[in-house]
Structure 1
Amino acid sequence: MTPPPPTQPKGPRSRDQVLDATLALLSEAGYARLTVEGVASTSGVHKSTLYRWWPDKAALVADALASRMDTGPLPDTGNTRDDLTSWLRGTIANYTATPAGATMPALIADLAGRPGALDAFRAAFLTERRTNCATVIRRGIARGDLPPDTDVELFMDALAGAVFYRQLVTGLPIDPDLPTRLVRILGL
């Protein structure tokens, strides 16, 4: 679950309005053109109030993404290959088929330049998603589908890293068969 902003908004309805407005504007304008002023206007919450709840645009967007994007499936089909393929399909859909996911590269670039901001985003956004994937991998180790000395962190990086590399660097297609091919390359 995503931790609340440093100062919790007056009510869940206001917070929900702000986060929904943030995602709506992200999908319309993209990260670069999104403004706190626009979010305030769209959500009906005063701009100064937003700055009390979130220190800046990046923190607001990070919270919106963390609280609204799916954490991905935690499949248990009895088959590690199918579980990992399902998890990867959910991850791909999150980052390629949603307007919010498309903003991730710009958000991460913005957060990277500020001490502590990227770490806070990782804690709010990535922790639960990685925990789900680690559970699937550890279950595969327990079943004997993966070697007992499998480096769980590296395995997760290899799965998700291939997707992000294609999305951000090479521009190669992220086709429907990619999860199956990735899991096969990783030995399943």
Structure 2
Amino acid sequence: MTETSRRTSIGAQRNLQSRDAILDAATAIITEAGLAGFSIEAVARRARAGKPTIYRWWPSKGALLLAIYELQKPDLRMPDTGKLEEDIFLFLKGLINHWRNSPAGAIYRSIVAEAQSNPDSALAIGNYMTDRYEWIGAILKHHQQRGDLADWIDTDIAGEQIASFAVARLIMDRLERPDEDLRQAARQFAKGLRTQ
């Protein structure tokens, strides 16, 4: 191994360690102090990192918040039981339970709040949510191909409607509602999407 390759390897390790320290610091701050106490300056101080280093990894506060959220989020897959209503119900229940039983709900609420006043954050969050809608839409597309959804349904928009229902519950602090509410919502979504 040459001296040059040794230096490159050490530098890469330092960069990854710095990234992890920033994520750890950011997670701690948002959990302890909420959005009001969260800033790039506070994260830099706690992580003992420079602000330029943080911005190299994440171009906005919203992008950093999304990175923290992704660390909290399990692999929530859209179920594919073959039954449209059950798939929607299980997806909503899994997401809402995760938000209710982990720091992820408070973090996501902070992300939505940050997007209201920061255009860069709004763009990052908008891109993230578009990916989520398309991901849900891809499962709905399978139901459409089976003939369960009407041909005229735009599955990406349908995915947005389902996800937005969950986000509204989070923002309005209505995550404690009974499962029967979610079953009713899933039933209404499914009946509206089905081929008549």
Structure 1 ranges of 4+ moved more than 4 A: 170-173
SS in 2 for 1:145: coil
TM-score (normalizing by structure 1): 0.75
Residue in structure 1 matched with residue 112 of structure 2 by the alignment: 108
Q: In the alignment, which of 152, 158, 162 is matched to residue 159 of structure 1?
A: 162
User: Which protein has the larger Cα radius of gyration, Structure 1 or Structure 2?
Assistant: 2
User: Matched residue pairs, number?
Assistant: 180
Deviation at 1:142, TM superposition (A): 1.3
Please give the secondary structure, in 2, of the residue aligned with 1:150: coil
Q: Please report how far the alpha carbon of residue 31 of structure 1 lies from its aligned counterpart in structure 2 after TM superposition.
A: 1.5
Shift of 1:67: 5.2
Q: Which amino acid aligns with 1:108?
A: V
Percent identity over paired residues: 28
Q: Equivalent residue of 1:75, what SS? A: coil
Aligned partner of 1:23 among 2, 21, 27? 27
Structure 1 unaligned spans of 5+ = 1-7
Output one character per residue of 1:10-65: Cα deviation in whole Å (capped at 9) or x when no partner. 53332123223312321222111123343234434344532444445333213322
Does structure 1 conserve the Cα–Cα contact (< 8 Å) formed by 2:18 and 2:49?
A: yes
- Paired AA for residue 83 in structure 1: D
Name the amino acid aligned to 1:57. K
Please name the residue that 1:98 is paired with: 102
1:131 maps to 134
Partners of 1:116 and 1:51 in 2: how far apart? 12
Gaps of 5+ in 2: 1-11, 192-196
Shift of 1:73: 0.9
Q: Does 1:76 align with 2:80?
A: yes
TM-align CA RMSD: 3.0
Shift of 1:171: 4.2
Higher helix share: 2
Structure with the larger RCO, 1 or 2 (CA within 8 Å, 6+ apart) = 1
Contact 1:74 1:136 in 2 (8 A): yes
Change (3 A) 1:109 1:119: same
Shift of 1:134: 0.7
1:147 positional shift: 1.7
Report the alpha carbon displacement of residue 118 of structure 1 after superposing the two structures with TM.
1.0
CA distance in structure 2 between the partners assigned to 1:104 and 1:77 by the alignment: 28
Q: 1:36 is matched with which residue?
A: 40
Aligned-partner Cα distance in 1 for 2:152–2:33? 46
Distance 2:37 2:165 in 1: 28
Cα 1:29–1:9 shift into 2, 3 Å: farther
Deviations 1:134-188 (A, max 9, x none): 1221111112222222232332233222223233247484333333221101235
Distance 1:137 1:52, change over 3 A: closer
TM-score (norm 2): 0.73
CA contact (8 A) 1:26 1:100 kept: no
Alpha-carbon distance between aligned partners in 2 of 1:134 and 1:154, rounded to the nearest angstrom: 7
